[in-house]
Structure 1
Amino acid sequence: MRKLFLILCASTLMFSQTIILGVVPQQSPLKLAKKWSKVTNYLKEKTGYKIVFKTEKSIPTFEEQLYSGAYDIAYMNPYHFVVANHKQNYEAFTRANKNIVGILLAKEKSIPFTKDNLKGKTFLFPAPNAFAATLLTKFELKNHFNFDIDKEAKVLYVNSHDSVYKGISRDVGYIGGGIIRTFNNFKDKNDKDKLNIIYKTNEYPSHPIAFHPRLDKDIVKKIKDAFLSMPEDLTKTLSIKRFIKTNSDEYEIIKSVKPL
């Protein structure tokens, strides 16, 4: 009887603890909620803990919450992680198996990356610190083509990747930054058919999932194991083939793109 009582107490404690999973809003909160609610249900079944999805209306708002330690675990871009690790000691534990690649899109099929052609043009980006879509594309145009977007062009930040794609299609901007995964997931056919990928960046470690140090290590292990064993039909929901192990050291290279 005492053993049964202890088991029931342990189960009650597990389900009474709420763990907040923050997700960077690369797409609208509604689209993300539909995808990640399936993940949180799976995590609850596998770990016994109540995992609650949370995102924000914009990437800058997500950054504010992340850097204040609002999330117990979080899916973030690589630069977000470097800052979150510095400010809150978040530690990376898993990521998608594929590396991340930034892309530039336009309605034209090809564009000369020269100062004469790009100077004064309007570039659309989801947010100032969106890693591959903004930081990486800016970094490579400056280093490979000697063109400083911030100094020599017009920049508009439009909150999400989908907003970039719509904006370029509808002539709000000339060139837009994104990533292959969100472009593949962009469902508005009328807009998408007008767009062409005109540049791809080098590869970097993809978005990590990281935990805040206040989270108990046993909980972290259960969540990590659940991600690593996530069935393929569920990872496909996130446009990920599978999750692999990672650690914070893998993201040191990000500081070469934008130092802290």
Structure 2
Amino acid sequence: MKRLSIFLLLATFAYSSEITLGVVPQQSPLKLSKKWLKVTSYLEQQTGIKVVFKTEISIPKFEKELYSGNYDISYMNPYHFIIANKKQNYKAFIRANKNIEGILLSKSKKVEFTKENLENKRFLFPAPNAFAATLLTKLELKEKFGFDIDKQAKVLYVNSHDSVYKGISREVGYLGGGIVRTFNNFVNNADKKNLHIVYKTSSYPSHPIAFHPNVDKKIINKLENAFLKMPEELKKLLSIKNFIKTNSNEYEVIKKLDVENK
């Protein structure tokens, strides 16, 4: 009887295992929850581990939680990972197979990337440390065209990629930063039809899913296998063709970029 009680206790503990999944808010929390709650349900079915979806109302608030180590695992941009790895020793283990690149959008079909055309224009970005949408586009305009957005133009941060797209369509700004995946997912057709991609950055390893060092490696192995076997309908919901294994070393290339937000 005592042995049975111990068995039941261990079984209950295993079933009640719970971890948090923090997701960077590239879209509104409501839009993200409609996608990721289906993913966390799938992960729980596959692993027996309860995965609790979490996000924040803005990217800076997400960064604060991430850098404090408040997520067990987290889907973050590559720049976030470099900082989270340094501050909390998060380790990357899964990412989308496709690399990431930043885009600039405008209502104009063609934009002249010259000082005369861009000076004092308003640029919209989702957040100061959005990797591809903000940091890469700023870096490449400075390196390729000699134009320093922060010093020679006006910058407005609007919390999400969708807000950038709406703002450019409604002439709140002249150019706005985003990424192809979130632009493809932008469903407001009245605004989307007004927008044109006028610039694309170089590509880099995409958003990793990383784990806090306090999480048991056996749990991570189970989650890794579940992501790799994820059904097509769920991957389509996330606009990800396939997941692949990754590791922290793959993101060393990000450290070599001069993208620190001054």
Over 3 Å counting, the alpha-carbon distance change for 1:153 and 1:89 in structure 2 is same
Unaligned runs of 5+ in 1: none
State the secondary structure of the residue aligned to 1:98: coil
Residue 219 of structure 2 corresponds to 219
TM-score, normalised by the number of residues in structure 2: 0.96
Question: Is 1:61 matched up with 2:61?
Answer: yes
Residue 123 of structure 1 corresponds to 123
Residue 77 of structure 1 corresponds to 77
Residue 170 of structure 1 corresponds to 170
CA distance in 1, matches of 2:9, 2:241: 37
State the secondary structure of the residue aligned to 1:197: strand
Over 3 Å counting, the alpha-carbon distance change for 1:176 and 1:64 in structure 2 is same
CA distance in 1, matches of 2:160, 2:4: 50
Unaligned runs of 5+ in 2: none
CA distance in 1, matches of 2:227, 2:10: 23
| TM superposition shift of 1:231 | 1.2
Residue 209 of structure 2 corresponds to 209
Residue 231 of structure 2 corresponds to 231
Over 3 Å counting, the alpha-carbon distance change for 1:58 and 1:145 in structure 2 is same
CA-based RMSD of the aligned residues comes to 1.4
State the secondary structure of the residue aligned to 1:71: coil
Code of the aligned partner of 1:127: A
Code of the aligned partner of 2:212: H
Question: Is 1:111 matched up with 2:111?
Answer: yes
Residue 45 of structure 2 corresponds to 45
Residue 187 of structure 1 corresponds to 187
CA distance in 2, matches of 1:56, 1:152: 31
State the secondary structure of the residue aligned to 1:35: helix
Code of the aligned partner of 1:212: H
| TM superposition shift of 1:8 | 3.6
| TM superposition shift of 1:14 | 2.1
After superposition, residues 123-142 of structure 1 pair within 5 angstroms as 123-142=123-142
| TM superposition shift of 1:7 | 5.1
State the secondary structure of the residue aligned to 1:198: strand
CA distance in 2, matches of 1:28, 1:86: 28
Residue 256 of structure 1 corresponds to 256
The percentage of counterpart residues that share the same residue type is 69
| TM superposition shift of 1:256 | 2.4
Code of the aligned partner of 1:56: E
Residue 157 of structure 1 corresponds to 157
Q: Across the two proteins, how many residue pairs are aligned to each other?
A: 260
State the secondary structure of the residue aligned to 2:129: coil
Q: What are the superposed Cα offsets for residues 29-74 of structure 1, whole Å, 9 maximum, x if unpaired?
A: 0000000000000110111011000000000000000000000000
Q: What are the superposed Cα offsets for residues 157-207 of structure 1, whole Å, 9 maximum, x if unpaired?
A: 000000000000001000000000000000000000000000011110000
Code of the aligned partner of 1:139: L
Code of the aligned partner of 1:223: L
- Identify which range, 224-233 or 90-99, moves more after superposition: 224-233
Q: What are the superposed Cα offsets for residues 206-241 of structure 1, whole Å, 9 maximum, x if unpaired?
A: 000000000011111111111111111111110001
Over 3 Å counting, the alpha-carbon distance change for 1:243 and 1:4 in structure 2 is farther
Code of the aligned partner of 2:252: E
Question: Is 1:34 matched up with 2:34?
Answer: yes
| TM superposition shift of 1:2 | 7.6
CA distance in 2, matches of 1:99, 1:161: 18
CA distance in 2, matches of 1:259, 1:122: 21
